[in-house]
Structure 1
Amino acid sequence: MQSSFNHVRLSHVLTIVPQNLINIDDELDTRYQGDIKKLNKIKKEFGLQYHYEADQETTASDLGEYGANILFNEFNIDKNSLDAIIVCTQTPDFFTPPTACYLHGKLSLNEKTLAFDINQACAGYVFGLYTAYSMIENGSCKRILFICGDTWSKYYHPKYNTNIGGDGVSVSLIEYSQKEHKSYFDLGSDGKGLKYLFMPFGAFRNTDLKAMEEPEILNKNIKERQIYMNGLEIFNFATRKEPQAFNQLLKFANYDKNDLDFVFFHQANKGILKIIINRLQIDHSKAPLSIEKYGNLSAASIPATLCDAINSYEIPLQKNLKIVLGAFGAGLSWANALMTLDTDFICKKVQIYQKEKK
């Protein structure tokens, strides 16, 4: 599906990670069970060295609340001006109500502020932007707070998984633009690929693994609240679909990739990203990586990479930047967006969550 918008802009982006910074070298005897070859493979092929992990009491909503208050207090954003709060997370506080409703109360937002969740994984940041852009373009909203991210570490057990994930949440502000502000989106899904990346147990489907027609899953000791991934299938999906979708977006927008200032891809792993970047013949300096610093932050990986790169580039911006956001992951889903960051665009270097003392 393709859509364009004329009067919406991304004005603020913050990214928050928890306090616990982990060097994976220190996980050799726990997560990697003393397997130095596996550890070195993760570092070399996947590009991981560090990741942040929330403690058992810290949730994605805590990180989102912390970032939202930075937005309100440091940048003089009136919370009463918000028309909606949208939350995209796979690690909610509760099955019900939506995490957006929980944060609506925690942030003391106005009753007129609509609150709802989006259930999306790695492509969730671009799906959420598309939703917010649509609501603003149709005239129902002028300012939307979008909180996106997870505390994925709660889904993993060191004896069963050697994931490259990290915990983190982004906080973005999307606003109506009186002047023309063109943006373009290309999004898609292939639900037949669900079985290659999903959580079989923990919700209300009594999953029959034998009926999934996914032989590899039968060899895994999948527990409740653990994720199954067929790495080869996801690798093939990402390296095939993302270049295709990226080019479709540029064709739709009638834009030359050589005129882009930055491309921010979902930070799945370094190997996947290098193949995508090479196939698209993108200058590597325009497609920064952040996975070594933060791990795979799922839906928050794109805004984290943006915050990291833009702050290293020039703040405040000296010119408008033309960027593409490229996401792909569970669903199977993919989403790409081309937009402009104005010179008054605001983002902060990735912030570390400071837990309140009780």
Structure 2
Amino acid sequence: MDAGVLKLICEHAHSPNPKLRLNAVWALKHLVFSAENKVKVSCLEELGPGWLIQLICDDTEDTALGASDDSEEGEGATEVSTDMGGSYMSIDPEVSQELFGADDEVEQDGLNMADDGSSITRSRVDYVLDEKDSEFKRSHRGRQAVPLTLNARLAALKDAETNPLKRARQDDIAVQEQGLDFIRNLICGQGSTEMIDTLFKGLGEDRVFDILASKLRPRVVNAYGRGKRNSPAAEPRVIQPQVEIVVAVCFIVVHIAASKPQHRQLLISQTELLKLLSSLSEHPNKNVRAAVAWSVINLTWVDDEADQISCRKRAIELGKLGFLAKLEKMEQDPELDVRERCKTALYQMKTILH
């Protein structure tokens, strides 16, 4: 920092080269991890709030998915990355499903949702990104495998790597993930309340929540009946968000909910965002399901006596949005961590409401 590395990394984060831009944002994510607020503020100011918005909002997904090439378009890019954000390969999940079958799993670089002891306040927990990314597997079970010849498989892999629209889309998704993780690390740990205020001031409260909701919202492609060559018009398809993006967004919500009562009141007013969050209670990724429960735990936490009435109103609103029924169903979740978080969330909600 004293040698001026921050300015240099932020310059690289503005680079037109997608790989350099990706690795620079990845470095900034780690730089703000457990950093003092003055360092975090310097990073945000040097990067530029407007550029951060552009990094996490630029998306060629609709163009890529709606392209009229003969290859089958998938649901998203699966990134297999090195810990330090170095070279990586990208495989379209639908291509990998065709290559390896419906019951196989594709290894991908994950996000370690380790909780830092310094960020635990009573029963509320801030989840942070550890400096070592752990691996997790994304399952593609339940989909019909399509047998392919060896040549067809190689052609599908080649297309996934060389198609410029797909490559641009994959680059966008990778940068978005790191940009969201940058925000996630920015607003967690000690001093998180001040950093959330700084984020809202720099990006705008409404803009922040609009972005978070947009990242959880499924997309519809081929909405205008654009089909493949020599084939009938394709039916519109609903494309679910990338799991890496969903995890990052969910834990940004968890951090905001873990802040001061004013931030919780602001979050509970975001009806669309909370509806989207509620719909993730059966998400295949266990970290997403756990984040749903943690959000409820933090939103129903009572800071002091003055917060009791507001907390009851938040619990009532969560009940209206279906969280109570979702949590009761999640008590049977196969993952112990999810079940335990649900027990805590249900206990707090029911205690407040009765």
**TM-score (norm: length of structure 1):** 0.29
Indicate the structure with greater strand content.
1
Structure with larger RCO (C-alpha < 8 A, sep 6+): 1
Indicate the structure with greater helix content.
2
Task: Give the greater-gyration-radius structure (CA).
Answer: 2
**TM-score (norm: length of structure 2):** 0.29
